[in-house]
Structure 1
Amino acid sequence: MSMSSSAYHSIVRSVRHNTPGSDDTEADVRFSRYIVARLLAYLKPHKAKMAAAFATMLLVTGLSLWIPILIKDAIDVHIKAADTGALLRISVTIALAYGGTFVFQALQRYFMAWVGQRVLATLRLELVTKLQILPIDYHTRRIVGVIVSRVIGDVSVINELLSQGLIQLFSDVILLFGIIWVMLALNANLALLTFTVIPFMALSTYIFSKKARDRFRRTRTLAANMIGNFAETLTGMRVVQAFGQEQKMTRLFDADNSDTRQANIHSMKLAFTFLPVVEIMSVVATCLILLFGARAAINNLEGITVGIVAAFLAYATRFFQPIQELSQLFTTMQSAMAGGEKIVEILDTDEGVKDPEDGRQMPPIQGRIEFSNVGFHYDESVAVLHNIDLVVEQGQTIALVGPTGAGKTSIANLIPRFYDATEGRVLIDGVDIRTVTQSSLRSQMGMVTQEPHLFTGPV
């Protein structure tokens, strides 16, 4: 059936989007109105395009429901009356309906792609902007690869849910209830007989969704760990090669890669076990329609005609597609909620060092640095600096000497305001650096770090 192709791509897409995720735990991801509200806000600037996509979706759904009715009328009315003129007209109408379906589907996909790409770009830009103003402490405590996977992988699955999933959700629900309503209107008894497979379908969908949620989340977790560990290996490649640890790092990556591969295989096994269940339910419904509907049509029972049987067969092929797609959407929603929680966590993270509301521009720096009774700690339990009083005159060169952890780097990090002193003041040319903007301060400084980083670009 045509449903197999769409179901296949839907399942593969679900597994793919649940792979490059963030550092999710195995805990259940619950529905959060706050997360949903934050994510839906990205659609507001594109209300017109979303409305257009919704309108074209309604047209596609309406035409899909109308075509089997046209086929029924052609069989029961015009073929029976041998009205070739009417058959020609209804054939042209059916062709135009199919053509309209294709056109409106193309427009719907265009509108959704248009919105999706802009939401994707906006969300990633906000994340990158936020990450660049978060304090150094935030980045030193997190794995680079995991952050990258959030900006790339989590944003992609959220974008799919916002730009396509919502429209698909409404489309599937409207199509499903539309088919139920039309089938009941055509013949209630035959419709109820067809619906006997729904409880089995609902049960299998529930079991699949519950297991898929756990397996897909495990896949995300393992993939994020693999990306993070690999990013650390690349960053520390000089150390790896200097100590001859290439084989060890390869073995570690192979272990992570194997775990991720097995998790993906288990997820795919579950997905492709569910797909035949959908097909079997569709086949059972088709057999019920043929067995009881055709016999009733032959014997002129319960008002069932050959046209009604043909319409029911057409609706049966469409009936289980929205059910299957809704189960896949549930998985996508779980993944999007997990990713959305992590992304909103980044966007809501306190920036730490902030410019004062009335911050002024730093005057041209002459070079006098003063630490006045400065104290500093990264967390309240461990103090790094105590009552530091230090003056460095303009043009003077000094060296800070001490064991690891003595606070040398911490002193250097306080000058450009990577951190703020928890006690006392840091002054440059007599100006408290907390009273000026960070950009005006740092733009007048140069720094050579312990580990230089070269950016890609022309010299």
Structure 2
Amino acid sequence: MSSKQAQPKGQPAAIERGEEIFARYDSRVMSRLWKYISPHKGALAATVLTVAVFTLAQVSIPVTVRYAVDSAVGNATYPFNAVLAVFVALIVLNAVSNFFQEWVAARLAQRVIFDLRRAMFNHLQQVSLSILDRTQVGRLMSRLQGDVNSLQEFMETSVSAVGDFFLLLGIIGVLLTMDTKLGLLTLAVLPLLFVIRRVWLPWARKAFTRAREASSSVNAALAENINGIRTVQENRREAVNLERYDVRATENLQAQIGSSRASQVMMPTVDTLTGIAMAIVVVVGGSSVVSGELDVGVMVAFIFCVQRFFDPIRTLTMQYTVMQRAMASGNRIFEVLDIPVDLSDKPDAVQLQDVPPSVDFNRVTFGYRPGQPVLHELDLHIAPYQTVALVGPTGSGKTSIAALIHRFYDVWEGEVKVGGQDVRDLTLDSLGRCVGMVLQEPFLFSGTVIDNLRYGIPDASMEDVIEAAKAVRAHDFIVRLPDGYDTVLGQRGRNLSIGQRQLLSFARALLAKPKILILDEATANIDSFTELEIQRALNVLRKGRTTIIIAHRLATIRDADVIVVLQKGRILEKGTHEQLLENDGLYAKLHASSNESFDDVVAEDEAEHVPHT
């Protein structure tokens, strides 16, 4: 294998490695997140304005209390009724601005997260299959769900956190302005809080991490057993699985208790410091009031400020954990968005014109992992309107040939041509319209029967839909469904039999009227009666299009124009059914045996089979 051949690119390491649950503040994450926030400048401005108004109201209330108390005891020139009116107005402004702060912040976060989800969904649809083949779907789903939710929580709470920060500054300013000496004494407890917080954070981080990992483990065990419930009940594994689940559930219980303990430690700590600060105000401030050095209104305002001062500290401490989760989630989200889209249209890509649908493989070498080719310098010509069958043991390269025709992957060496043009020079859309595929395991989406049939051609007429369904003998069973073509399917079509689902996938492919039709083990899961119906339909469907059939069973391929026998990525022999019987090769060996599948036959001496071209 040439050292110059294009090897499949590796995927981002973060998808393969263990998930980091917490991370420190990352300016790169915030910079990229800002690109999704900046388009919503109006909502952002409204958020900042409401936060500013709410913070101003919070700071002004204790000041107003001071003047209200001084007016009540006759120590101020301000009319008590006027001060009371201002106080009531501030209370109303505080409530209204708090509501709008939460509302506009949530709306901003939802809009940003909507854009982010849409970007991830759009990107993952275009990522090459070579990446997805080596990626656990669960990890990608985690990014689309859990990580995005963590980022949304961070955005929604960050607005109030910013407000809390400025509220702290405002309260400090009020305390020092009203009485510098008493203010400094009250704030003397802050250094102690910082020391406690510095000791608490590493311990809390470990506790939160352990809780998150234990929760993921429990959820994974639960999901696995639910997805495999048929196998569980078949093997009567309920009791054993419950014992194993109990172990994980117990670990999760202990981890969650530890997490709760870590969360609750700061609450009594802050309450204790609040009490100390309050005691300072009462003792020192009270003495100053008695001696006439301090107005009683100032001391009451100090008490109000101290009560409000430690609430944002508690909130900001909890926000640090939210920020850590968000930074880790942001890194993972942007790593997904950074997955390269290897398969895309070239700048000068052309539309596949109305040309005879031929297929050519010219010395094609291809594999899914570096250094492990599946196809070896393969040469294959499929003439327009031929029916070609690809047969061979599992792993011989049949499905890889089909995938390369549709350009799900790019070859390492050589070229694949459709209609005489290299598939890499064609637009993916025009190639996709030319090539239709029916796979061994049909995938039906949520929605009605007709929605699934029109999946590739949304504007197809009802007449065309019925014609395609009739062509594959699907119409009769569809009209017997409760609502006919408007019957809503269960998840992946679970309320249909495997054969019925396969017939729908046939009709869906035919409705798109592809010039090249690939049937990849399309009849493997269909019963003999249904397969007979399909065989009759295929005799009609093959007219006017190039058909490539991948199958193990001889009954499916006997009438093909050309049968290509593959072994370990190379062509062993090819010809008609009769010609291959005369060659007395692997195909003839299968035919002479009582087996029905190529998987049941192992070549006794593969070296004896010389590739035919």
CA distance 1:220–1:440, change in 2 (3 Å): farther
Corresponding residue number in structure 1 for 2:433: 443
Distance 2:375 2:314 in 1: 61
Aligned partner of residue 389 in structure 2, secondary structure: coil
Distance 2:230 2:389 in 1: 30
Matched, 1:369 2:359: yes
Corresponding residue number in structure 1 for 2:597: none
Aligned partner of residue 114 in structure 1, secondary structure: helix
CA distance 1:454–1:39, change in 2 (3 Å): same
Q: Which runs of 5+ in 1 are unaligned?
A: 1-21
Aligned partner of residue 446 in structure 1, secondary structure: strand
Deviations 1:71-94 (A, max 9, x none): 1112224422598x9112211110
Corresponding residue number in structure 2 for 1:426: 416
Residue 288 of structure 1 is aligned with which of 268, 271, 280? 280
CA distance 1:55–1:348, change in 2 (3 Å): same
Deviations 1:252-271 (A, max 9, x none): 55554444443333212210
Corresponding residue number in structure 1 for 2:28: 34
Q: Which amino acid aligns with 1:107?
A: F
Residue 208 of structure 1 is aligned with which of 177, 200, 213? 200
CA contact (8 A) 2:218 2:248 kept: yes
CA distance 1:327–1:242, change in 2 (3 Å): same
Matched, 1:43 2:37: yes
Residue 58 of structure 1 is aligned with which of 49, 52, 71? 52
Distance 2:76 2:412 in 1: 93
Aligned partner of residue 447 in structure 1, secondary structure: strand
Corresponding residue number in structure 1 for 2:344: 354
Matched, 1:396 2:390: no
Corresponding residue number in structure 2 for 1:127: 120
Corresponding residue number in structure 2 for 1:15: none
Residue 326 of structure 1 is aligned with which of 308, 316, 338? 316
Deviations 1:203-246 (A, max 9, x none): 22223332333333343344445555655556666666666666
Distance 2:218 2:349 in 1: 43
Matched, 1:385 2:385: no
Residue 162 of structure 1 is aligned with which of 131, 140, 155? 155
Deviations 1:362-409 (A, max 9, x none): 23475422111000132323222210111223331312302x433333
Greater per-residue strand proportion: 2
Give the deviation of 1:107 after TM superposition. Answer: 1.6
Distance 2:431 2:87 in 1: 71
Deviations 1:134-156 (A, max 9, x none): 12232232222222221112112
Distance 2:249 2:18 in 1: 18
Corresponding residue number in structure 2 for 1:72: 66
Distance 2:440 2:221 in 1: 22
Give the deviation of 1:23 after TM superposition. Answer: 7.6
CA distance 1:244–1:395, change in 2 (3 Å): farther
Matched, 1:266 2:254: no
CA distance 1:58–1:232, change in 2 (3 Å): same
CA distance 1:381–1:228, change in 2 (3 Å): farther
CA contact (8 A) 1:144 1:231 kept: no
Distance 2:436 2:221 in 1: 31
Residue 107 of structure 1 is aligned with which of 100, 112, 122? 100
Distance 1:151 1:440 in 2: 30
Q: Which amino acid aligns with 1:396?
A: T
Give the deviation of 1:45 after TM superposition. Answer: 1.0
Give the deviation of 1:28 after TM superposition. Answer: 6.4
Q: Which amino acid aligns with 2:413?
A: E
CA distance 1:234–1:347, change in 2 (3 Å): farther
CA distance 1:43–1:319, change in 2 (3 Å): same
Corresponding residue number in structure 2 for 1:138: 131
Corresponding residue number in structure 1 for 2:470: none
Q: Which amino acid aligns with 2:322?
A: T
Give the deviation of 1:348 after TM superposition. Answer: 0.6
Higher deviation after alignment, 223-232 or 37-46: 223-232
CA contact (8 A) 1:362 1:441 kept: yes
TM-score by length of 2: 0.66
Give the deviation of 1:320 after TM superposition. Answer: 0.9
Corresponding residue number in structure 2 for 1:91: 84
Q: Which amino acid aligns with 2:271?
A: E
Distance 2:421 2:230 in 1: 41
Corresponding residue number in structure 2 for 1:13: none
Larger radius of gyration: 2
CA contact (8 A) 2:71 2:79 kept: no
Distance 2:245 2:351 in 1: 48
Higher deviation after alignment, 391-400 or 55-64: 391-400
Q: Which amino acid aligns with 1:151?
A: L
Corresponding residue number in structure 1 for 2:443: 453
CA contact (8 A) 1:282 1:320 kept: yes
Aligned partner of residue 361 in structure 1, secondary structure: coil
Q: Which amino acid aligns with 2:283?
A: L
Matched, 1:278 2:260: no
Q: Which runs of 5+ in 2 are unaligned?
A: 1-15, 450-613
Alignment of 1:232-311 (within 5 A): 255-300=247-292, 303-311=293-301
CA contact (8 A) 2:71 2:80 kept: no
CA distance 1:347–1:445, change in 2 (3 Å): same
Matched, 1:193 2:185: yes
Give the deviation of 1:115 after TM superposition. Answer: 0.9
Q: Which amino acid aligns with 2:94?
A: T
Aligned partner of residue 375 in structure 1, secondary structure: strand
Distance 1:400 1:418 in 2: 21
CA contact (8 A) 1:144 1:228 kept: no
CA distance 1:353–1:251, change in 2 (3 Å): farther
Asked which structure has the greater RCO (Cα within 8 Å, sep 6+), the reply is 1
Distance 1:124 1:375 in 2: 37
Give the deviation of 1:104 after TM superposition. Answer: 1.2
Distance 2:297 2:211 in 1: 48
Corresponding residue number in structure 2 for 1:183: 175
CA contact (8 A) 2:54 2:101 kept: no
CA contact (8 A) 2:25 2:323 kept: no
Aligned partner of residue 398 in structure 1, secondary structure: strand
TM-score by length of 1: 0.86
CA distance 1:248–1:362, change in 2 (3 Å): farther
Alignment of 1:216-231 (within 5 A): 216-227=208-219
CA distance 1:234–1:358, change in 2 (3 Å): farther
CA contact (8 A) 1:368 1:428 kept: yes
Distance 1:168 1:180 in 2: 18
Aligned residues: 434
Give the deviation of 1:192 after TM superposition. Answer: 1.7
RMSD (CA atoms): 2.7
Q: Which amino acid aligns with 1:431?
A: Q
Distance 1:103 1:76 in 2: 27
Corresponding residue number in structure 1 for 2:332: 342
Q: Percent identity?
A: 32
CA distance 1:338–1:105, change in 2 (3 Å): same
CA distance 1:45–1:145, change in 2 (3 Å): same
CA contact (8 A) 1:426 1:432 kept: yes
Matched, 1:147 2:147: no
